[in-house]
Structure 1
Amino acid sequence: MHFYRQKKRCVGLLRFIAGACVCTGSGAAWASPVDLSNALPNFFGVGVGSTTEYAGGKERIVGVVPGMRYVTSGGHLFEWYGTYAQYNFGSLTGFQWGPALALRLGRRNVDDPVVSQVHDVSTTLEGGGFVGYEYSHVGNVPYRLRGEVTVVTNAGQVYTGARVSLNTSAWFPLHARVFVGGGLGATWVSGGFNQTYYGVTPDDAQKSGLPVFTPGGGLNQITGWLAGIYQFSTSWYAGAMVYYQRLAGDAADSPIVVQRGTRNQLTYGVGIAYAFR
């Protein structure tokens, strides 16, 4: 499915819903101090959204992505969002760390007649780990803050080098059943990554008419998002989100982006989640 080519965007909808489930806890009104560190429900959800066919493109697609959050009996946290999963060996709040896996799907059979002549990119499995910190405010108006750094690589199967992402998020209640969240992020990549996903080889240039382009590494993108969540029953939540990406550095200068697409990428969607103990 084309939709899964950009898992970092639409699967983010599930992260937003999960964050809201954490904030709402049992759904009780927050008229008295609330300790969110003891209010982490298990969670399963589905998001539906629209995004571009590939990073830097203009053509849009629609798709569905699942996700879940599960706290084990030993107090560890497993999170799975579409093509990304991580396991936290640290605390539910405070310092967090563990392994991370991502399925990065390839680029092939795209609708753009010119980009379709550029080399195909195969699907690959990325592995690595993350470290982060989550703060849970205890008080009459609870909120949660989270920061995380993730490093993954595919050990040269499709691209060489690695990808490093920094993401931050914050959730606040507007009402006992209404929550809003937002976040900022950035991603740095190796030259091998950019050459695979944004480069134009001499053979590509001959077939597509685009100029030869050999990008280096560095800042790849900056991101920002806003989301809202409504709890409509004890265990059920609905949400909506808007996610913005701006390609940067050599990725933004690629002819694939400059001549055939846009460096500004917008994703939006809605989702539903069930929280359980």
Structure 2
Amino acid sequence: MPLRRALAGLALTAAAASAGATPVSLPGSLPNMAGLGIGSTTEFAGGKDRMVGVVPGLRYVTPGGRLLEWYGPYAQFNFGGLTGFQWGPAVGLRLGRNNVDDPVVSRMHEIDTTVEAGGFIGYEYLNEGRIPWRLRGGVNVMTNAGIVYGGTHIAATGSLWVPLHPRVYAGVGLGATWVSGSFNRTYFGVTPSDAAASGLPVYNPGGGLEQLTGWLALIYQFDKHWYGGAMVYGQRLAGDAADSPIVTQRGTRNQITYGVGLGYAWR
């Protein structure tokens, strides 16, 4: 779930969903960095009960100029440049739905945590004027190859980073995610056995636009090596995902993740 990816981004931006929706892009001018983030997010996609999570992260530029980004359950390796076109493989860990607090949803079938794989392509532009802002956009395609769900989910994202001060970065991002029918049936569907156990109506969703996302973040450089910051990440479920009884009767289509983090940087 993209909310977990947002939590993971907190570890490096010093700013929590990944989940699942898409990773939070960092400005390319930052040095190598490793860190931890802590934040609050919902227990599952469409839910309203919350949980607290602690996640690690790593941003590392290899001696050959390739960029590795690891945000909690999501990692990607960029074979392109730190600016200009970027592309490469990606892997992710999509958290399941089990042992949830909601007394109705807890009666439904559990969903296993699973590994995803795919790739991304994007472009990063650096304006080298008096205020060196950075604009980054891209598309990410991931699949589970039918282990837990079939088909794919595709996320389009864009982000802008602007230095407000030599020690302060401000970031804003927008995104949208499209998913297969199998993905929606796994995470938002209600099977006949689920309906009998929970009392929710049977629901068999199709694919399409699953969510719209947006985030705001601030990074502050304490000294040569230490960065800290905060972040708020919002998701609004759409289409068949938003119409699921899991969302309309037991949860909410508006999902918020927020948190703070601390990172150690080196050149």
Contact 2:34 2:57 in 1 (8 A): yes
Structure 1 partner of 2:20 = none
Matched, 1:54 2:51: no
Deviation at 1:22, TM superposition (A): 6.6
Structure 1 partner of 2:180 = 190
Q: How many angstroms apart in 2 are the aligned matches of 1:92 and 1:17?
A: 21
Q: How many angstroms apart in 2 are the aligned matches of 1:217 and 1:262?
A: 19
Secondary structure of 1:106's counterpart equals coil
Query: How many percent identity over aligned positions?
Result: 66
Secondary structure of 2:48's counterpart equals coil
Superposed CA RMSD in Å reads 1.9
Matched, 1:8 2:5: yes
Structure 1 partner of 2:134 = 144
Structure 2 partner of 1:237 = 227
Structure 1 partner of 2:114 = 124
Deviation at 1:99, TM superposition (A): 0.2
Count of residue pairs brought into register by the alignment: 260
Note the alpha carbon deviations across 1:257-277, whole angstroms, 9 max, x for none.
000000000111001111101
Contact 1:20 1:171 in 2 (8 A): no
Deviation at 1:148, TM superposition (A): 1.3
Unaligned ranges ≥5, structure 1: 24-36
Deviation at 1:15, TM superposition (A): 5.6
* Counterpart pick for 1:246 among 226, 236, 243: 236
Deviation at 1:17, TM superposition (A): 4.5
State the TM-score, normalized to the length of structure 2. Answer: 0.93
Q: How many angstroms apart in 1 are the aligned matches of 2:207 and 2:109?
A: 19
Matched, 1:93 2:90: no
- Cα gap change, 1:110 to 1:51, in 2 (>3 Å): same
Secondary structure of 2:246's counterpart equals helix
Q: How many angstroms apart in 1 are the aligned matches of 2:174 and 2:90?
A: 20
Structure 2 partner of 1:33 = none
Deviation at 1:6, TM superposition (A): 3.9
Q: How many angstroms apart in 2 are the aligned matches of 1:166 and 1:14?
A: 22
Secondary structure of 1:212's counterpart equals coil
Q: How many angstroms apart in 2 are the aligned matches of 1:135 and 1:5?
A: 25
Structure 1 partner of 2:94 = 104
* Counterpart pick for 1:225 among 215, 222, 228: 215
Structure 2 partner of 1:273 = 263
Deviation at 1:8, TM superposition (A): 2.7
Q: Write the mapping of 1:28-67 to structure 2, written as runs, cut at 5 A.
A: 39-67=29-57
- Cα gap change, 1:21 to 1:275, in 2 (>3 Å): farther
Q: How many angstroms apart in 1 are the aligned matches of 2:194 and 2:128?
A: 56
- Cα gap change, 1:22 to 1:127, in 2 (>3 Å): closer
Q: How many angstroms apart in 2 are the aligned matches of 1:233 and 1:54?
A: 37
Matched, 1:200 2:195: no
Matched, 1:159 2:156: no
Q: How many angstroms apart in 1 are the aligned matches of 2:213 and 2:26?
A: 23
Matched, 1:213 2:203: yes
Deviation at 1:14, TM superposition (A): 3.7
Note the alpha carbon deviations across 1:67-115, whole angstroms, 9 max, x for none.
0011111111111000000000011110000000001121111100100
Unaligned ranges ≥5, structure 2: 16-22
Structure 2 partner of 1:255 = 245
Q: How many angstroms apart in 1 are the aligned matches of 2:182 and 2:84?
A: 34
Q: How many angstroms apart in 2 are the aligned matches of 1:54 and 1:238?
A: 27
Q: How many angstroms apart in 2 are the aligned matches of 1:272 and 1:20?
A: 16
State the TM-score, normalized to the length of structure 1. Answer: 0.90
Letter of the aligned partner of 2:193 in structure 1?
D
Q: How many angstroms apart in 1 are the aligned matches of 2:116 and 2:60?
A: 22
